Amino acid sequence: MEAMEDLVQKTLEAHWRIKQYVYKTPLMFSRPLSKLASDSKVKIKLETEQLTGSFKIRGAFNKLLKMSSESDIVKERGIITASSGNHGMACVEAGMKLGIPITVYCYKDVSEHKRTALQDRGVRVVLHGNDCVEAENEARSSAERQNTEYVSPYNDLDIIAGQGTIGIEILEDFPDVDSVLVPVGGGGLIAGIARYIKQVKPSVEIIGCQPQNSKVMYESVKAGRIVFEESLDTLSEGTAGGVEENSVTFPLCDQYVDDWIMVTEEEIGKAIVYMLQHHQKVFEGAAGMTLGAFMKNPGRFMGKRVVIVGCGANIGINTLKQLISMYT
């Protein structure tokens, strides 16, 4: 519990630690979305404009900077991590900058677009299991066998603190915000954002968004424990899959997330196309999922000041072409 209480301070420290390495991303006002919910003011946090096209670079730099400052061994032995794509690319980017070799474990059906992006960077990619949790467990076991550091994509307070720097930027740029919609997979992003914002401005409503096809964290919070539920294929691949047993993100989600919205595949696809049509921005599935959560019931946000976290832009061109043909 003490570590959880320290998370706000860890987030502030992360903000200063990583600021020279990452972008402060735009908080873009959306007139068309604001019109959907009359008398509201809707802004989108464009982590799509971040290095590697995803928010994940924040946690990766925070973790690797801390590790490299505490020991030189990490540069000799490297690290092992697990990822559905974005966290892996972020660790690779940070590792290249800091001179730390990276091995990335992915589940077998990881997006070809993201797997290729990793391999093009000269990274060793190991495919294991049918779910991200299986890849995570194998990556952790491999790190133990090799006496190498393992870096979790979400089950790590330093990673969470890095992602939480988005909350700092939101309150700096939009201090009157009423509601923040955040995508949820393993929960690292929403845990960091929620813990910081709730400390500074408790009145802000934090809403977790998950695809109907993969909603393990929502079901876990509802059950009061981490549950194991099969995930179906989803456009929101960045949030797909299970949650590691005893993850530190679970109690944070349980305590600090006020509400949840589930989103269908059609709603995700239409939201991705909507961003292209109205803002000329490319959203990956997880970002479209969060936008879709707002768009499915904009009346819920009438008169409110809202932030939608657009978490990333890494979507394959063939998927994008298919969605455009379906929804235009």
Domain co-membership, 17 together with 68: no
Both tokens assigned to 209: 């968004």
List the chain pLDDT tens, one digit each, 328 residues: 445 669 999 999 999 999 999 999 999 999 999 999 988 999 999 999 999 999 999 999 999 999 998 877 888 889 999 987 899 999 999 999 999 999 999 988 887 877 888 888 878 889 998 878 889 999 999 999 999 999 999 999 999 999 999 999 999 999 999 999 999 999 999 999 999 999 999 999 999 999 999 999 999 999 999 998 888 999 999 999 889 889 999 999 999 999 999 999 999 999 999 999 999 999 999 999 999 999 999 999 999 999 999 999 999 999 999 999 999 9
Pair (78, 106) in one structural domain: yes
**Same-domain pairing of 166 and 259:** yes
**10, 156 Cβ separation under 8 angstroms:** no
Range of the domain at 85: 56-151
Tell me: do 301 and 185 sit in the same domain.
Answer: yes
**Strands 149-151 and 259-263: what pairing?**
unpaired
For the chain, the domain total comes to 2
Query: What integer pLDDT is reported at residue 133 of this predicted model?
Result: 83
Write the CATH number for 137: 3.40.50.1100
Write down the pTM of the prediction.
Answer: 0.94
Backbone angles phi, psi at 185, to 5 degrees: -120, -95
Same domain, 230 and 272: yes
Single out the residue in 115, 135, 151 at which a domain terminates: 151
Q: Are 195 and 256 in contact (CB under 8 A)?
A: yes
Same domain membership, residue 226 and residue 318:
yes
Is residue 125 domain-shared with residue 202, that is, in the same domain? no
Are both 65 and 161 inside the same structural domain? no
Mark whether 323 and 192 lie in a shared domain.
Answer: yes
pLDDT tens profile 42-85: 999 999 999 999 999 999 999 999 999 887 788 888 999 998 78
Q: What pairing do the DSSP bridges indicate for beta strands 102-106 and 124-127? A: parallel
The domain boundary residue, chosen from 151, 181, 208: 151
Are 233 and 182 members of one domain?
Answer: yes
Is 124 strand, coil or helix? strand
- Token readout for 179 is 């509601």
The CA distance from 223 to 229, in Å, is: 12
Decide which of 151, 171, 196 is a domain's last residue.
151
| pLDDT for res 2 | 46
Q: Give yes or no: residues 167 and 268 share one domain.
A: yes
Same domain (yes/no): 218, 131 = no
What are the start-end ranges of the H helices in 265-305?
A: 265-279, 285-295
Distance of alpha carbon 253 from alpha carbon 194, whole angstroms = 8
Residue of 79, 64, 60 lying closest to 139 (CA atoms): 79
